[in-house]
Amino acid sequence: MNLRKYLKVYKKFLHTSLASELEYKTNILVDLITAILSLVGSIFLLSIFFQNSGYIGGWKFEQALIIQGIYTILNGITNTWFNPNLTEIVKHIREGTLDFVLLKPIDSQFFISLKKINPSGFLEIMLGFLLLFFCIRINQINLNLSFLTLSLITISCSICILYSLWFFISTTTIWFVKTWNATEVLRSFLYIGRFPLSSFSFSLRIFFSVFIPIAFITTIPSEVFLGLSVFWKILLEIIVATIFLINSRKFWLFALKFYSSASS
Amino acid sequence: MVKNIIDVKNLSKSFDISSKEPGLKGTIKHFFRRQTKSLKVIKDISFEIKEGEIVGFLGANGAGKTTILKMLCGLIYPSEGSILVSGYLPFRRKENFLKNITLIMGQKQQLIWDLPPIESFYLNASIYDLDKFEAKKRIKKLSEMLEIDEELFIPVRKLSLGQRMKSELLAALIHEPNILFLDEPTLGLDINAQRNLRKFLQKYNNETNATICLTSHYMKDITSLCKRVICVHEGAISYDGKLDLLLKKLSPVKEILIVCRTEEDAIKLENSGFTVKNKIKNEITIKIENNSITSSLKTILNNFDIEDLFINEPPIDEVIGKVLIKKDYVI
């Protein structure tokens, strides 16, 4: 793979999608306001849950805010990259415009995963980080190199798992043609990731760890922040993320053999 | 000797197609127990295309023309048979193969809708690993050939269909491909835009010796660009050869309207042994076989007092239409 070429193309992707989005100023403004209100609403909701008892699933409100911060960052990444690109896969396949992607001398997964960006998602990412810094202060977390490295690794793994899950569902469009609902269900499950895994019943915990690994997406990075995480959990998240990423790639290449293009 | 650039042998393609009965009952049945059957859309076809050739694929809707094009450019895996395009197996979509080809579809677009076409051109240039200087040079050259200038800087959504199609062509040709697959490129364009597009394609072929495979329902596209046509009927090739030969074969007779000086001359001509289609006063329409037109006209001009005459070519759409519905036109 020619890294220089891919960087150059990505720079063009950034340029063209920013230019496209900036054509509609009001839309960006509405998106930015929505991002702020969504975060305020989520924190308010969380505070209601903690009003009667100081703990949920063994987590204090201040600790649960870390999960909210990580969720906000992931949601920002979802809105910036996954939502504009991965929902387009369905459109590409239904309308047959995937033909143009497949005939370009560039990796098709790279192209369809990164072609667009939604700049308003950046605000959410920034808000998420601000919330995390706030949590670091109120939870008196020590910022050291191992803490930062582990946080970065676990958050990156969370992004990989989320991307792979979404990409996997979108890829099934090649057979099922319409999978909007499935990606919406995935987004709904992601909302669950705003709460500590231990606040759910045993069966739900198993479900959200094994079948739809939401637990890996927010809870493990949050545990790293609080120094509660154990080594095997971090290792497990790395393994899960790697397996998901590799399989999403293999699944895409396999699915393309069944692509029949839309009729003209 | 000109080498073959496309080599297709015993190619077949089957699709699983589901069918649904009408009405609510049919919809419910279709939802729970979807019945699919394998449909062979391309049936054991073989052909070769030489470098620099412009070949028209003719066929009715659903005949399989687009499926053939999509297999040639590597979008669809063939079920049986082999395809070699420029020495590559298309469905492997190797980088060097993709840099050699392009696909243009009249009904689909790759340009970024909200931005001027120039942005899409530079994006494509980076995908094809062209530097800015080279990209600029090629955009300038192609835009001159296509006669577009200001349109390059207007958002695509505000361009007319003709301007958009020209921009689509430029975006698809920026990497200077050797093989062009065009699927109904003039669809929906007005007569002038169609003519300009054809002019451009002919010029591009002359200048670059690119091979062009074209499907179109506009016969003018085929007659003005393609010397050779491949007729596809229900997934099989019903004719592969020169277009003029096909036209002669399909339409062996020409109609000639003769205006005689007097009605008596017309009566004399009517009784002279020619096949008469009709006669109105001093005007008579006769049918003459293509291979005896010169000698017959000589006889008529020498023996009758003729005021004027018109040779009527049968409408090409009508002639080609015959080949699209019959399978056994093999010359």
CB nearest to A12's CB, from B77, B122, B155: B122
Distance from CA of A160 to the nearest CA of B (A): 25
Q: Is B66 helix (H, G, I), strand (E, B) or coil?
A: helix
Pick among A100, A102, A254 to test the B interface (most B CBs inside 10 A): A100
Spatial separation of the C-alpha atoms in residues B160 and B201, rounded to whole Å: 20
Comparing CA positions, the residue from B311, B222, B70 lying closest to residue A102 is B70
Spatial separation of the C-alpha atoms in residues B33 and B241, rounded to whole Å: 46
Spatial separation of the C-alpha atoms in residues A8 and B240, rounded to whole Å: 45
Decide if pLDDT at A103 tops 90. Answer: yes
ipTM of this complex prediction, to 2 decimal places: 0.79
Spatial separation of the C-alpha atoms in residues A136 and A86, rounded to whole Å: 33
Decide if pLDDT at A27 tops 70. Answer: yes
At residue B192, the pLDDT reads 83
Q: Among all residues of chain A, which has the CA nearest to that of B102?
A: A103
Task: Tell me the one-letter amino acid at A112.
Answer: I
Spatial separation of the C-alpha atoms in residues B280 and B259, rounded to whole Å: 10
Q: Among all residues of chain A, which has the CA nearest to that of B117?
A: A16
- Out of A29-33, A153-157, B137-141, B206-210, pick the least confident: A29-33
Is some CB atom of chain A closer than 8 A to the CB atom of B66?
yes
pLDDT in tens, A154-188: 889 989 998 998 898 888 888 876 666 666 777 77
A103 and B70: CB-CB below 8 Å? no
Contacts of A133 (CB under 8 A, 6+ apart): none
Decide if pLDDT at B182 tops 90. Answer: yes
- Which span out of A164-173, A179-188, B50-59, B318-327 was modeled with the highest average pLDDT? B50-59
CB-based burial, B196-224: b 16+ in 10 Å, e otherwise: bbbebbeebbeeeebbbbbbbbbbebbbe
Backbone φ/ψ region at A5: left (φ over 0), alpha (ψ -120 to 50), beta:
alpha
Decide if pLDDT at B93 tops 80. Answer: yes
A105 and B75: CB-CB below 8 Å? no
Residues of B in contact with A253 (CB under 8 A): none
Give the residue, B103 or A205, on which the prediction is more confident.
B103
Q: Using 50, 70 and 90 to split pLDDT, how confident is the model at A26?
A: confident
CB nearest to B127's CB, from A24, A106, A257: A106
SS3 of A111-159:
HHHHCCCCCHHHHHHHHHHHHHHHHHHHCCCCCCHHHHHHHHHHHHHHH
Q: Using 50, 70 and 90 to split pLDDT, how confident is the model at B115?
A: very high
Give residues 176 to 195 of B whose Cβ lies within 8 Å of A: 183-184
Distance from CA of A203 to the nearest CA of B (A): 31
Spatial separation of the C-alpha atoms in residues A154 and B76, rounded to whole Å: 40
Distance from CA of A107 to the nearest CA of B (A): 10
Which strand ranges, in their side-by-side order, compose the sheet holding B4-18? Answer: B36-50, B4-18, B80-85
Pick among A14, A17, A99 to test the B interface (most B CBs inside 10 A): A99
Distance from CA of A15 to the nearest CA of B (A): 9
Residues of B in contact with A5 (CB under 8 A): 126, 129
At residue B154, the pLDDT reads 93
The contact set of A with B (CB < 8 A) is 2, 5, 8-9, 11-13, 15-16, 19-20, 23-24, 95-97, 99-100, 102-106, 257, 259-261, 263-264
Percentage of chain A with pLDDT > 90?
21
B129 and A2: CB-CB below 8 Å? yes
At residue B67, the pLDDT reads 92
Q: Using 50, 70 and 90 to split pLDDT, how confident is the model at A239?
A: very high
Distance from CA of B267 to the nearest CA of A (A): 54
CB nearest to A261's CB, from B75, B119, B129: B75
Residues of A in contact with B71 (CB under 8 A): none
